[in-house]
Amino acid sequence: MGLFFGAYHIVALITIMRMQPPLNTIKPTESELEILSILWEKGEATVAEVHTLLSAYKKTGYTTTLKLLQLMLFKGLVNRKEIGRKHTYWPIVDKNNLSIGLTERLIGYLFNGSPAQLAITAIQSSTFECSKEDLIKLQALVDQKISQ
């Protein structure tokens, strides 16, 4: 029985891996990005831990959190290990790589391929405050690009 159970899980895992889309086509939803942010910060977390942290700022049910993590596993955003009845998840997509991909898509779709328009919009936004240090970093990057 134990050998069959292990073999079954290996076949299931291979099947799921074949069904996952390539990383560059993954488009996480807002809720998935919220969960990824938690996992990037913690490294790994159980469903209950993710739910507790998510519930601190967003009304959501435990089963919704569980279902989102299961979908994220299928999409190739996270991985999971089972210890007893606890399922622990961790991110398998790199935050930097995902942010670059999402930013490139955003620039392409909303800003006609202009990174400058994205930067201008971000700096002018009243939602987020740009610190003096951030503006100095941006200025240094602009100066570097101009001199190339």
pLDDT tens digits for range 57-103: 999 999 999 999 999 999 999 999 998 889 999 999 999 989 998 89
pTM for this predicted structure? 0.72
88: burial class by Cβ within 10 Å (0-12, 13-18, 19+)?
A: middle
Tokens of 26: 């993954």
Quickly state the pLDDT bin for 18 (edges 50, 70, 90).
very low
Instruction: Determine the residue type at 34.
Output: E
- Options 1.20.58.220, 3.40.800.10, 1.10.10.10, 1.10.238.10; CATH of 2-94: 1.10.10.10
**How is the chain split into domains, by residue range?**
2-94, 111-147
